[in-house]
Amino acid sequence: MVTPNAELAYNSKIEGEVVVSRLDSVVNWVRTNSMWPMPMGLACCAIELMGTASARFDIARFGAEVMRFSPRQSDCMIVAGTVTYKMASAVRRIYDQMAEPKWVIAMGACASSGGMYRSYATLQGVDRIIPVDVYVSGCPPRPEALLDALMKLQGKVRRERSATQLFSA
């Protein structure tokens, strides 16, 4: 029998302000909404990366405005620009210095595949040295494309079994 006072639904007085959820979704929720980028600004794409961070496109709407040039504080490396062979080892070192979990966005044609620079000095795609999660096309991609890549990456992170990975290791 249901009385008017029956507390079948969530009641903060009884449950002590507790929300029940899956640990995975809680961890992923935290991770997706504070994706701090490591702006690996190498060439032309870096200008669009700066444009994305500034007033009109405002990457802060997606919780990713905290551009940190210190890899230890970053979650997501945005490789923006042509990676040359001379630069390749520096990119890899910075990637190695980032704390887990970490993701990589290859922004633009050069970072994705070498793009229009098929030459002796250019690394033909940054995925030869670091694993890439999202590739963005364009030379350079528009800021909207970068925001789309960020949302794609957030979607990917949302599906990760992060809690299982955290506690099984």
Partner 1 sequence: MPATVAVTTLLQEKFPQVTPRASLDLEAVNVPPADVIAVLKALRDDHGFDMLVDLTAIDWAEGVSPRFTVVYHVFSTTHHGYIRVAANCANDELPAMPTAVGLWAGANWHEREAYDMFGIKFDGHPDLRRILMWDEYPHFPLRKEFPLAGIETPLPDPDVVAETGAKAIAAPMMGGPFVAATGEINLTEAEPRAKDESWSEVREKPKA
Partner 2 sequence: MATEFSFPDAAAKSATAEFETEKMSLSMGPSHPSTHGVLRLQMELDGEVVTKCDPVLGYLHRGDEKIAENMTYNQFVPYTDRLDYLAPLANNMAYAIAVEKLAKLEVPARCQAIRVLTAEMARISAHLLGLGAFGIDTGAWTVFMYSFTEREKLYKLFEELTGARFTTSYSRIGGLQRDVPEGWTGRVNAFCDQFLPILEEILGMLTRNKIFMDRTVGVGAISKADAIAYGLTGPNLRGSGVPLDLRKDKPYSGYDQYEFDVPIGTKGDSYDRYLVRGEEMRQSVRIIRQVIAKFPCGPWYATDAKKIFAPPKAKILTSMEELIQNFMLVTEGPQMPAGEVYFEAENPKGALGFFVVSKGGGVPWRLKIRAPSFCNLSILPKVCVGNMVSDVVSILGSLDFVMGECDR
Binding positions for partner 2, rule: CB under 8 A: 40-44, 46-48, 50-51, 54-56, 69, 81-82, 84, 86-87, 90, 94, 116-117, 119-122, 139-140, 142
* One of 44, 50, 57, 92 touching partner 1 (CB under 8 A): 92
Q: Do the beta carbons of residue 115 and residue 139 sit within 8 Å?
A: yes
Q: Does 26 bind partner 1 (CB under 8 A)?
A: no
Q: Which stretch binds partner 1 (CB under 8 A): 13-21, 28-36, 63-71, 111-119?
A: 111-119
* One of 30, 116, 139, 151 touching partner 1 (CB under 8 A): 116
Structure tokens of 120? 């002796």
In the region spanning residues 117 to 136, those forming contacts with partner 1, defined by CB under 8 A, are 118-124, 128-130
Residue 89 binding: pick among partner 1, partner 2, none (C-beta 5-8 Å cut-off by kind): partner 1
SS (H, E, C) the chain: CCCCCCCCCCCHHHHCCCCCCCHHHHHHHHHHHCCCEEEEECCCHHHHHHHHHCCCCCHHHHCCCCCCCCHHHCCEEEEECCCEHHHHHHHHHHHHHCCCCCEEEEEHHHHHHCCCCCCCCECCCHHHCCCCCEEECCCCCCHHHHHHHHHHHHHHHHCCCHHHHHHHC
Q: Do the beta carbons of residue 135 and residue 112 sit within 8 Å?
A: yes
Structure tokens of 119? 């030459």
Whichever of 56 and 159 has its CB closer to partner 2, that residue is 56
Whichever of 60 and 90 has its CB closer to partner 1, that residue is 90
* One of 10, 29, 69, 85 touching partner 1 (CB under 8 A): 85
Q: Which residues bind partner 1 (CB under 8 A)?
A: 85-86, 88-89, 92-93, 96, 114, 116, 118-124, 128-130
